[in-house]
Amino acid sequence: MKYEICNNDIVLTEPYINLEQTLDCGQAFRWIKISDDTYSGCFVDKYLEISERDGRVIFVNTTEDDFLDVWASYFDLKRDYADIKAGYSQDPTLAKACEYSPGIRLLKQDEWECLVSYIFSQHNNIPRIKGIISRLCDHYGHFPTARELSRETPETLSFLRSGFRAKYVIDAANKVANGEVDLEFCKALPYEEAKAELMKIKGVGPKVADCVLLYGFAKVEAWPVDVWIKRVMQTYYPDGLPECVIGTQGIAQLYLFNYVRNLHEE
DNA sequence: TTCCAGGCGTATC
DNA sequence: GATACGCATGGA
């Protein structure tokens, strides 16, 4: 990781990140493109504007402390993606997927926000997921805590227009607020045990749990299988995943998901 | 109009 | 344990 301090900004020169590929690939739902080269977003109570110019990423008006304590972790800056992608290049499909969007990185998101977001994601599409979460945050002025959401009912959340998912989010809020599911504790558990804990929540099945394990807990062995990844498996890997992804399947999934979803649109 | 969307709970066998 | 079906909402 290499960076410079420029006036009030942090300019990241290494590693390479593509902001559009990373912030708008469907792993996080709250980043907003506010100009040609700039996004705004949050991690818990930290607000960030971040720009990409001439291949460099600029953390606008950001202290070195916040950069090192919050954003370096959030953007997974210490992981060696060049090394990971070199391993993936043994597989022709993954080689194409990495070439298609080489600047994707895993975002290590807040686990509670991640849990709620992916409960809303089920049987839904990305623009609509963003709309629901945007209405939720506008309503509270921030992403609501579990305690705040535990006071809601499906009726009081009807403004979200989130359909049958509202009751699941309320169940998650209740279980997290009363300690029945302890996300901090889950984070420290091994993959399988953490997954079983998350699946105590109504509306959290294997796929949503894997998304929280990957995007919220940064457990890169998680392998969320949605409709797109099912198609990937049928089309490219009928006999199972290639050896070169074992251990970091979650990161491979980011590249593959983005690749096939855009192939479909073209 | 019909189909589908980063699935899951439930009923049924 | 596996398979089928309904589910709120909205865009294509």
> How far is Cα A199 from Cα A207, in angstroms, rounded to an integer?
10
From the Cβ of A158, is strand C under 7 Å away?
Answer: yes
Phi, psi angle pair for A113, to nearest 5°: -60, -40
| pLDDT beyond 70 at A25 | yes
pLDDT at A266 over 80: no
Amino acid A225 CA to nucleotide B10 C1' distance, rounded Å: 22
Residue A259: which pLDDT band, with cuts at 50, 70 and 90?
very high
Work out the pLDDT band at A102, boundaries 50, 70, 90: very high
Nucleotide with the nearest C1' to A223 CA: B6
Is A67 a residue whose pLDDT tops 80?
Answer: yes
Q: What is the average pLDDT across A216-240? A: 95
pLDDT tier at A21 (50, 70, 90 boundaries)? very high
Instruction: Give me the A residues in range 79-98 that sit within 7 A (CB) of strand B.
Output: none
| The overall pTM is greater than 0.95 | yes
Among A5, A25, A2, smallest CA distance to A13 is for: A2
Residue A34 is encoded by which pair of tokens? 């506010």
pLDDT of residue A68: 98
How far: A164 CA to B2 C1' (Å)?
21
Measuring alpha carbon to C1', the residue closest to nucleotide B8 is: A203
- Which runs of E-coded beta strand occur in chain A? 2-6, 9-14, 32-35, 38-43, 46-53, 56-60
Nucleotides of C under 7 A from a protein CB: 7-11
- C2 C1' to A30 CA distance, Å: 38
Give the angle subtended at the CA of A210 by the CAs of A209 and A212, to the nearest 5°: 65
pLDDT at A263: 85
Nucleotides of B under 7 A from a protein CB: 4-9
What is the average pLDDT score of chain A? 97
pLDDT for res A55:
87
| Owner of token pair 């949050």 | A42
* Residue A161 Cβ < 7 Å to strand C: yes
- 97-156 of chain A touching strand B, CB 7 A cut-off: 121-126, 128
Q: Is the pLDDT of residue A265 over 80?
A: no
Q: Summarize pLDDT for A128-150 with one digit per residue, the tens.
A: 999 999 999 999 999 999 999 99
